[in-house]
Amino acid sequence: MEIKVLGPGCRNCEKLEKAVQEAVSELQADVSITKISDMEEILEHDVIMTPGLVINGKVKAFGKVPKKDEIKKWIKEEM
Instruction: Say if CB 59 and CB 3 are below 8 A apart.
Output: no
Domain that holds residue 52: 2-78
Question: CATH code at 47?
Answer: 3.40.30.10
Q: According to the model, what pLDDT value does residue 68 have?
A: 96
Q: According to the model, what pLDDT value does residue 52 have?
A: 97
DSSP single-letter state for residue 12: H
**pLDDT band for position 9 (cuts 50, 70, 90):** confident
How do residues 32-74 score in pLDDT, each as one tens digit? 999 999 999 999 999 989 999 999 999 999 999 999 999 999 9
Catalytically annotated residue among 1, 2, 10, 77? 10
pTM of the model: 0.93
Whether the pLDDT of residue 26 is over 90: the answer is yes
What is the average pLDDT across 7-26? 95
- Is residue 28 among the annotated active site residues? no
Catalytically annotated residue among 6, 13, 36, 47? 13
| N- to C-terminal Cα separation, the chain | 7
Total number of domains constituting the chain: 1
- Is residue 13 among the annotated active site residues? yes
